[in-house]
Chains A and B, each alone.
Chain A
Amino acid sequence: MNRPDVSDAEQAARLVGMGLRGRQVPDRDVVYRDLVLRYQQDEVFAASVDAIAEGLGLAVLDVTRRSGIVLAAQSGSAFEIKMDDYARQAKLRERRDTEKVLHGIAHLAVAALSFPRPDDLANDQYVGRVSVESVDLVVRETCRLLDERAHRDSLNADPSAEEPELERAWRAYQRRPEVAATKDSRRNSDSTRGMVSRALRWLADRGLLQAVGEEDDEVFRTTSRYQIHVRLLASQAAFRELLELGVVPPPTGSGLDIATGPQI
């Protein structure tokens, strides 16, 4: 009787399981490191790892010594993270769209500040540093410039009272206070810095960022996994949506390769 090689399947599944644990890295785990090496050298093993991930509703983005196996959830899978769940704690009295947009901007700004130049995003060796303060300041500054431009372009730049849903995202961000003291003098999570702080801690909980220095400093450095997520998946997918909406012109000859990103 032809028995399948169960041990290989077990090893492949183990590697996928390692990828689900965000904080494990090959450099600190001999078994993990061996599995990563085997993935890189053994094509049959790599194919079975990919197949197992596929079956679970995951996609293997990359497998490297630094990052380990980087997995992404396919849409509809059990591993998918939804913005609705993340922003659920937001107060319902505010318009949900606005809350979601502000949280989304916080995450995007974290990535934008982690990798300020295209080079930094492309360079595997680059490690970015972000703090709550710098992220908030960068977004606010961008909002201020947009505000200035709006004032320059039109006589009256104030938003219309009759069409609140057409309010621009920058205005919503700019209006939200940076910090706000609660009655028991804690930080208010509704403020923009509260949101950025939540985004950073949340990413750190998933092993995508690592806290640097004292906990109160709220300074984080990026990990290789976060870079791969942003580079291969998130930025491409969001940019593709912007292209479809016609918001940004398609890249012309600058070597941007949108189509090669994994289609999920």
Chain B
Amino acid sequence: MIDDELSVRRWMRLVETRHPHRPPRVEIDLFDQAEQALESGRKAERDGRINEALRQFRVAAREGVGDSLLLLAGLLVRTGRYAEALDWCLRAEAEGFCEAADLVARCRTALSIPFPERAGASSLPDHTPAALATAPVALETEQRAAPGRGIGPTASADLGLTRRLKALACTLPLHELDHHKAKLERLDASVYQMAEIAMHIIDQVTIAMDFDTGVVHEVVEDRVTPFVASQAPDRASSEHRRVARWVLEKLIYAGTVDRVFRHVYGEIDADGAYQRHTFDFKLIREVPGTRGEIYLRATDEAINVLVGALDTDVESAQVAAEVKLDNLINRGQLEDARIAAEQARYRTVQYGEMLRQKLDATRRNMRVVDWEHDLPEMLDRALAHIEGRFKVEHAILRNITEARDGSDDPGHKRRAAELVDIVTDCIRRHTQLQSRLQSARGVFRAEQDRQQFSGPPQRAALDLHGQLLKPLLEMAVSEAVGPLETFFRFASGVHRPDVAALPALVSMLLRPTADRDPTAGPVVVPEVDSIPDDRRFTDEHRRRAAALLDLGKEVRDLGSLLREAADFDDDLPVLVALRAAHACSPGIGAAASREQHRVLLAVPVGRPIDPEVAGVSGDDLLLTTAEVLTAAADEPGASLKESA
């Protein structure tokens, strides 16, 4: 009630200063009477005679004297007579007292009359014929005033201001980057737009944030460095990377041990006093991964700054974004649609993050989660939400795929393809989320088995979480210190004081330092087994075969060569035969590139080798060697002719 009184007084003062001569001084008795009634009404109100004051105000208000309408309405609201108050408020509004809009809103809330219907006239008391006449005017005024003012008490308007102030604060770290970029040593940072780089980093972190993990520092740097490079292409790439790392660090480390950005803002509280509050926020958080590594995640604040929807409900904003997208596609404005789709994806990520926190809570400690009502409801809501999103997104996907395939403009095609990618990604994220949601109840049952079904306590003991940890966390820091110190002292056992024993101390101090061997010890020479030689042809075989086949200008048949080779052993003829067979199509190109001067050539004679030597059979060959000439193209041909 106190705030009502205060606000009405404020209006009174306002009206008095603003409309000092509002009622024209008409020389009518009725008017004078009304003036007197107003005066006595004010006096009665000051003296606390409410009913008397109401009576006098009503007389004055019928004639519309001064601010009597507002006074009456205010008093009626304070005494809880909302129906009558509403009527007078509407009249006051019609008279041009725009302050009455707030009172109207309050009356409507109290009477739970919905705003859009504007059915005020039906609920008006019958002793106010004037109100009916002015109702249409009042409705117009109201429609103007209501949406901005909100329906709650006046504090709600301030809440909107607070939210905007907080949203504004979230952008401050980005601006400060540009102010402080001169702090980068040995570097002219004026060409870099730090705020843009920061936005880009937040983008990258947000997109890379999956359901479980975030993204590691190096990956972010890798992805952002090209963007930095495009701002100053002539600088060194190491510098680009340094700038990227600097911006990333500035986004993570806010300079305090808590690593939060802190913003002080003020608001008018319920008592009308100005109160300063601190708003702590982070843009990029470091979170631990499963194997002890550190990941980066974008916070809700950062996502909000990025998306630009600074004060909206997650769910409704997503719906809005998607409806907008549908519209855009129907009109063929794909570029705009792409931006909207990206926003929808940010929303999806944000929503996933919110649900992940709730599910994690469930898994860890079922006693702090209400499994009877809250959580099942939340799971159902989330599943319903995902179901809806699936429908919308699949519809969008179908539409864009059609748009992509049907479009002739390559630009449209490309943009539609990007859009398809984005929406596919959204669907993938929803699927992930859904599988988590479905497993949640299983987690509950498992935890219930583990935590719930245990025998009755054998001995009285405290519930450490509920009876100690939670109350202590709720206490102010300065109060909680005492009990926590006590717990620490008694829970951590006995301290063993150090007692210096003189003999031990002396011997420790006098002990010579052990000489450390400067070398790392003898080098061990490993014993290496030789590889067994299981080749069929030894180096001796190869050498002899080469000697046999080095024919110069001479032409010989294979049979005679084989017989000559058979004098050495049984394997040499085989090697000779293989090389001869290979010479049927000599690798002249390879020989030329290896700078061999001669190649072996073979031409079949047309009769078998007779007699068979060392198991080698087949057509007899004529063999010779030819010189390889690299000068002209027709030279190898010439040497071939020569051998024939």
Kindly supply a per-residue 1/0 record for chain A positions 164-183, scoring 1 wherever the CB is within 8 Å of any chain B CB and 0 otherwise: 01111110110111111100
Stretch at the interface among B421-429, B484-492, B552-560, B600-608: B484-492
Q: Contacts A119-B455, A137-B360 hold; do A79 and B468 have CB atoms under 8 A apart? A: no
Give chain A nearest CB distance to B402 CB in angstroms.
Answer: 44
Which residue of chain B is the closest to A177 with respect to CB atoms? B259
Q: Is A203 in the interface zone, CB < 8 Å from B?
A: yes
Query: What 0/1 readout, one digit per residue, does chain A (128-144) give for beta carbons within 8 Å of chain B?
Result: 00000110011101111
Q: Contacts of A105 on B, CB cut-off 8 Å?
A: 469, 472-473, 484
| A256 close to B (CB within 8 Å) | yes
Chain A positions 236 through 260: 1 when the CB is less than 8 Å from some CB of chain B, otherwise 0: 1111011001011000001111000
* C-alpha spacing A146/B260, complex, angstroms: 19
Q: How many residues of A contact B (CB 8 A)?
A: 103
Number of interface residues of B (CB under 8 A): 75
Q: Are A216 and B292 in contact (CB under 8 A)?
A: yes
A122 contacts across to B, CB distance below 8 A? 457-461
CA distance A238 to B462 in the complex (A): 11
B residues near A145, Cβ cutoff 8 Å: 361, 368
**Bound-complex Cα distance A100 to B478 (A):** 10
Chain A interface mostly: helix
Asked if B476 contacts A175 (CB within 8 A), the reply is no
Contact digits for B255-282, partner A, Cβ 8 Å, 1 yes 0 no: 0011110001001011000011111101
Closest to B281 in A: A175
- Cross-chain contact A173 with B473 (CB below 8 angstroms): yes
**In chain A, residues 108-137, which have Cβ atoms closer than 8 Å to a Cβ of chain B?**
108-109, 111-112, 115-119, 121-123, 133-134, 137
Is A234 a contact partner of B476 (Cβ separation < 8 A)? no
A-binding segment of B33-41, B194-202, B494-502, B629-637: B494-502
Contact call A161/B278, Cβ cutoff below 8 A: yes
Do B365 and A169 touch (CB < 8 A)?
no
Is the CB–CB distance between B286 and A179 below 8 Å? yes
| Contact (Cβ within 8 A) A170 B464 | no
Asked whether A121 lies within 8 Å of B484 as measured between CB atoms, the reply is no
Find out whether the CB atom of B494 lies under 8 angstroms from the CB atom of A242.
Answer: no
- Of A19, A116, A158, most B-chain CB atoms within 10 Å: A158
Q: Contacts A156-B162, A238-B487 given: A179-B493 contact, CB under 8 Å? A: no
When the two chains form their complex, are residues A179 and B462 in contact, meaning their CB atoms are under 8 A apart?
no
Other than A116-B465, A178-B286, give 6 A-B pairs with Cβ distance below 8 A: A75-B489, A108-B472, A112-B465, A121-B464, A180-B294, A208-B491
Residues of B within 8 A of A (CB): 155, 159, 162, 217, 257-260, 264, 267, 269-270, 275-280, 282, 285-288, 292, 294, 357, 360-361, 364-365, 368, 451, 454-465, 467-497
Q: List 11 A-B contacts (CB under 8 A).
A: A20-B494, A117-B454, A119-B457, A142-B470, A156-B269, A165-B478, A168-B476, A169-B474, A175-B260, A238-B487, A248-B471
